[in-house]
């Protein structure tokens, strides 16, 4: 079973990556995994972030690390979970900061699709995971692919805001031309680190301030209740 190609302008932007030997090897690995194990997200959702946020629409890139690995959580957007699923701890802390930063209501769900639809590319560094086994698809090729994605976003003429939470994400700073783009860095929202620099970092108001200064409309960060 092949990973489905992306239907919008990303297909052109990433065409060269899909033809490279590492990507073919990655597909073979995932196909082999699926023969005997449950893999998240579903095949149809691996590229949800790209489908919801075309290349030409990107204003913000939010980088996560690894998809959620419990049942029915992951659907292809970093930090986001399907409707009806309990909000995970990192997202609980994101919502707390959102409340503190912009005084928005904390929603009853963790479905972050409205952000993606406004130009926030919600990219995990690794796009698949074995059920209940975090980081199980680390170092299999996804990082090469998503580094290429970050590099392509960096090539956009219009300025983009890169949001790098935690040490892993901050390592991607070398892929970003900060003379043209903005990088927002802080601790990760995980319960292990949120009190060490994520809480109080005000990323959402900062993003909107930068967008306005670039002549763009702000992001409406309010996630509606379902």
Interatomic CA distance for residues 47 and 40, integer angstroms: 12
Active-site residue, from 9, 66, 70, 103: 66
Q: Tell me whether residue 191 is exposed, middle or buried, using C-beta atoms within 10 angstroms of its C-beta: 0 to 12, 13 to 18, 19 or more.
A: exposed
Tell me, yes or no, if 66 is annotated catalytic: yes
- Quick check: 143 and 66 in contact, CB under 8 A? no
- Quick check: 76 and 4 in contact, CB under 8 A? no
Interatomic CA distance for residues 131 and 119, integer angstroms: 29
- Quick check: 97 and 199 in contact, CB under 8 A? yes
Interatomic CA distance for residues 95 and 187, integer angstroms: 15
Residue that is written with structure tokens 């003429």 in the block = 157
Question: Which of 35, 61, 34, 47 is CA-nearest to residue 3?
Answer: 47
Catalytic machinery residues: 66
């Amino acid at each position: 079973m092949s990973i489905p190609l992306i239907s919008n302008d990303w297909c052109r932007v990433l065409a060269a990556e899909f033809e490279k030997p590492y990507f073919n090897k990655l597909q073979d690995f995932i196909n082999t995994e699926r023969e005997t194990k449950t893999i998240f997200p579903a095949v149809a959702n691996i590229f949800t972030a790209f489908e919801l946020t075309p290349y030409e629409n990107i204003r913000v890139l939010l980088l996560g690390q690894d998809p959620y690995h419990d049942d029915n959580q992951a659907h292809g957007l970093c930090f986001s979970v399907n409707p009806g699923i309990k909000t995970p701890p990192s997202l609980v802390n994101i919502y707390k900061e959102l409340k503190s930063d912009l005084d928005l209501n904390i929603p009853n769900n963790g479905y972050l699709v409205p952000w993606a639809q406004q130009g926030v590319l919600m990219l995990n560094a690794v796009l698949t995971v074995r059920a209940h086994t975090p980081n199980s698809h680390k170092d299999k090729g996804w990082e090469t692919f998503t580094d290429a994605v970050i590099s392509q976003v960096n090539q956009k003429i219009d300025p983009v805001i890169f949001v790098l939470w935690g040490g892993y994400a901050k390592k991607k700073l070398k892929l970003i031309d900060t003379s043209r783009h903005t990088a927002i860095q802080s601790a990760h929202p995980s319960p292990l680190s949120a009190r060490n620099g994520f809480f109080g970092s005000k990323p959402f108001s900062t993003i909107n301030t930068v967008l306005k200064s670039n002549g763009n409309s702000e992001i409406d960060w309010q996630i509606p209740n379902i």
